[in-house]
A and B are shown apart, each in its own frame.
Chain A
Amino acid sequence: MPTKPAGTLYRGKTGMWSWVLHRITGVAIFFFLLVHTLDTALVRMSPKDYDLVIATYKGAIIGFAELGLVAAILFHALNGIRVILIDFWSKGAKYQRVMFWVVIALALILFAGFAPRHIANVIHDIELGY
């Protein structure tokens, strides 16, 4: 009788969860980029309206959402490199689980460096009366 599978690349355990997360973050970034291309287009039409829209990016609500965006980018980008290594590096598949935890650790470290700075910036701007 074969024992319970330890989890393959895409099914079960880390292989599957990293894939689910990669998919969800990819979709989220895609929809952000649709909106972001439109808001940036305002810069060509009306400086005043551009500044008005960008002011909302500095507020508490979207300022907070930006933390989520950065977390999504960090995971998707670093895990994307992991996927590429699995495909192209001869030892990639063997180390895929180790690499998953390296991705999580790196993403957390970078996020910990970013989040306090960003929160301080947003709070500072709110105090200035935006």
Chain B
Amino acid sequence: MVVIETPRSPRSRKSAKFERYGWLYMRFSGVALLVLIFGHLIINLVMNGGITQISFAFVAGKWADPFWKIWDGLMLWLALIHGTNGMRTIVNDYSERPMIRKTLNVALWVVCAALIILGTLVVTTFDPCVDSSVSHTLSVCK
């Protein structure tokens, strides 16, 4: 059975404030993500042969331009926090035992933080010359 919290025991002021910011964040990040993700898919999946063009060289070409690094970085942060906060809503809706809810929510934010750190490092420290068997053909690596 799904138990709905009784309205007579409202959330604390602090958690109500958090929920309100979360609610607003879902809407503002949603609008930004529409532009970022549609742009990402049009360039990577529709134009110039779509999926067939994707390779290390393709990414190196895009990330030679800071514009796409910032684009991807924004998309990474906004999408992971939006998705994790959305998953938190779902966990809160379906999990009945407080322990399970707490554990799942902590796991969600740990995964979110780990992937944001990983993805941010990838996009900021990207080096087209990591592999000598490829880099000798690239003028930037000489």
Contacts and interface: CB of A to CB of B under 8 A. Distances in A.
A63 interface: yes
Given A23-B90, A26-B86, A77-B38, A44 B121 contact: yes
B49 to A, nearest CB: 6
B66 interface: no
Interface in B1-47: 27, 30-31, 33-34, 37-38, 41, 45-46
A33 B83 contact: yes
Contacts of A23: 90
B54 A54 contact: yes
Contact of A46 (B50, B52, B115, B130): B130
Interface string B65-83: 0000000000010011001
B118 interface: yes
Interface string A39-56: 011011111101100100
A100 interface: no
B105 to A, nearest CB: 14
Contacts of A51: 55-56
A44 B122 contact: yes
A94 B119 CA distance: 42
11 contacts: A26-B83, A30-B86, A33-B80, A47-B131, A50-B55, A51-B56, A58-B54, A80-B30, A81-B34, A122-B52, A124-B49
Interface of A: 23, 26-27, 29-30, 33-34, 37-38, 40-41, 43-48, 50-51, 54, 57-58, 63, 66, 70, 73, 77, 80-81, 83-84, 87-88, 114, 117-118, 121-122, 124-125
For the complex of A and B, the 8 pairs showing the least CB-CB separation, nearest first, are: A47-B56, A30-B83, A80-B30, A121-B50, A44-B122, A47-B131, A37-B115, A125-B52
Interface of B: 27, 30-31, 33-34, 37-38, 41, 45-46, 49-52, 54-56, 59, 76, 79-80, 83-84, 86-87, 90, 111, 115, 118-119, 121-122, 125-127, 130-131, 133-134
